[in-house]
Homo-oligomer: A and B are copies of this chain.
């Protein structure tokens, strides 16, 4: 049987729970636009909020995912994007060699962001 396919949106996490809820709401909105390409869409946090990234990946595997696509929800390539998140992803790959865990470019590096901004301003 083929495994499930999961998308995880990776955010920094905040002491303001409202900010974390914004990310959770975004994951729900992304899920609604997936047209069946992903079986599951969720989010995870680098710090200050739950679930953390490693725990979220474990959970996705436990429910039957064999492909997990991770998108860092960050605007710039600081240490978190350049080092911390890749290290967490690499550790998950080593724990689960049969699962494909991929890491996409962070949001701020997505070319379409410029078009989005051009579109949303009046």
Contact = CB atoms under 8 A, between A and B. Distances in A.
Contacts of A7: 121
Contact of A116 (B22, B34, B104, B112): B112
14 contacts: A14-B76, A18-B77, A19-B76, A19-B77, A23-B76, A26-B113, A26-B117, A30-B118, A33-B115, A69-B121, A71-B120, A71-B121, A104-B120, A107-B117
B33 A118 contact: yes
Q: What class of interface size applies to chain A in its complex with B? A: 35 or more
Contacts of A120: 71, 104, 110, 112
A119 interface: yes
Contacts of A98: none
Contact of A112 (B37, B71, B110, B119): B119
Given A7-B121, A76-B14, A121-B71, A116 B116 contact: yes
A22 B112 contact: no
Nearest to A112: B116
Among A22, A30, A32, the one with the most B-chain Cβ atoms within 10 Å of its Cβ is A30
